[in-house]
Structure 1
Amino acid sequence: MSRFLRASILLLLLMSCGRSDFTAPRNLDDACSIVSERPAYWRAMKATERRWGIPVQVQMATIHQESSFIGNARTPHQFMLGIIPMGRQSSAYGYSQALDGTWEEYQKDTGRHRARRDRIEDATDFMGWYMSKSASGLGISPHDAANQYLAYHEGRSGYARGSYRQKPWLMNVANRVASRATRYQAQLAICRG
């Protein structure tokens, strides 16, 4: 075997080890299908539920809204004059669409300095950490998907100020998140009961 061929095979092997599957599961409307296709999601969300008290269905509905379960999701680029890229709308990234500053706060607060936003285990743990702070600081029930989502989207201080009240579109999104959480809960009761 030639050196070039051996080097090529080794390179391909190394590249395949480092790749992650950031694609979304096939059926995002069925919680049972999601956790059947991606058992790591179920394990990560159950660990977050145990650690932070945030129910799986609330996590799933929020991830669906934020990233559609795409691990390396980013906000769209902004353009000047419609053609010149000016950067992204925000630093939101990963399953949880966590912003850089909030992610750094999470890492510091939890000591999880190697956590990554494109790993489902870290993204759900972040979400549990954030939502448990919303529960204790703002009195939002961990089961209240709509208000947890509003605090998640607007930030806890924005939620406390009621900034979402001036955003009817956001209120509609929060209601859809709550409906999805209810549907996911019913589906999970059947397949994971």
Structure 2
Amino acid sequence: MSNTESAAPAGETLSVSSEAIRDYVTAVDHLLLDVPWRRRRELIADLQEHLREHPEQIAVEQPQDYAAELRAAVGATPGGFLSGFRSAAWPTPLEWCESVLRGAALILLTLLGYKILAYLSYFVIGDPSSQGPWPGALDRAMQELYPVPAFHGSTGTGLLIYAPLAVLTGQLTTAAVLLRAPQRRRTLRILSYVSLGIFLAILGYGAMRSMG
């Protein structure tokens, strides 16, 4: 007797809600992030069609087992931390761009914090008359990050340094999250919107101060 037969008596159709099918498909999709995105899209489309015809599959096989079979069928191997650098691979082109956006925002926040601390420390241990309190430090730090953080006084060099660093930072942090908890892709999407807000705030403030 097959697993399918044991899951449901002959002649009976297992009642499975559309939500359960959607959750199953999503779980399998999360477990196939190491498969090139175009191929994964095809596999997921085939899975959705298969489950519409055979919803009992949900009760027969766990998502991780089904995903392992699909991965073996396409010969995919885990890509690890650097898997996102393959342009045709994990997770999707849009999510790859979002990871770079998050990496750039993380770098900007790090530089902003460093510059603020540098100004405040000089105000404390240096010449107090040459620096204002923390609002002034924040103002100067925000202006120095506009439109591109400078490196050794050059915004061109800063772009050459920080752009690849944003890609690297975004890919490593995204991989670290998805390799441990692939279901957090939605959370990463929210962080992408937050990162965009950080960019707009810094660019808008810098533009306003430069025109003033």
Could you tell me the TM-score, scaled by structure 1's length? 0.25
Question: Which structure's CA Rg is the greater one?
Answer: 2
- Greater helix content: 2
